[in-house]
């Protein structure tokens, strides 16, 4: 492989992994992006406030959307129950 093709090969591998992860998490009713957000929030709750997820409207919107979709599972994942 030519070194100039490396960035595109890495990108293709990332998207392949992301699609497969989305497929696996769909059985649980969440996307790969939602899982990463929940995992980040869980770590942030345990370690104290860090700037891993800023309180932006985008982040707040995702949390609210997740909470409406599956409130019990989301709260238990975050350790609120």
Is residue 51 assigned to a domain? Answer: yes
Convert the pLDDT of each residue in 24-49 to its tens digit: 988 888 888 888 888 888 877 777 65
Q: Which residue do the tokens 């992301």 mark?
A: 18
Give the integer Cα–Cα distance in Å for 77 and 81.
9
Two structure tokens written together for 11: 């990108």
The DSSP secondary-structure symbol of 52 reads T
Within a 10 A sphere around the Cβ of 69, how many other Cβ atoms?
Answer: 12
Count of domains for the chain: 1
Mean pLDDT, rounded, of the chain: 75
Confidence band of 2 (pLDDT split at 50, 70, 90) = confident
The answer as to whether 1 is a domain residue is: no
What token pair was written down for 76?
Answer: 């238990």
From CA 75, how far away is CA 17, in angstroms rounded? Answer: 27
Q: Which pLDDT score, from 0 to 100, does residue 32 have?
A: 87
Residue 17 domain-assigned?
A: yes
Domain that holds residue 63: 7-78
């Amino acid at each position: 492989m030519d070194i100039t093709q490396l960035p595109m090969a890495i990108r293709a591998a990332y998207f392949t992994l992301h699609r497969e992860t989305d497929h696996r998490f769909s059985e649980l009713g969440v996307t790969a992006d939602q899982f990463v957000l929940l995992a980040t929030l869980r770590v942030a709750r345990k370690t104290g406030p860090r700037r891993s997820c800023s309180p932006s409207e985008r982040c707040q919107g995702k949390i609210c959307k997740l909470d409406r979709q599956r409130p019990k599972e989301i709260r238990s994942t975050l350790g609120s129950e």
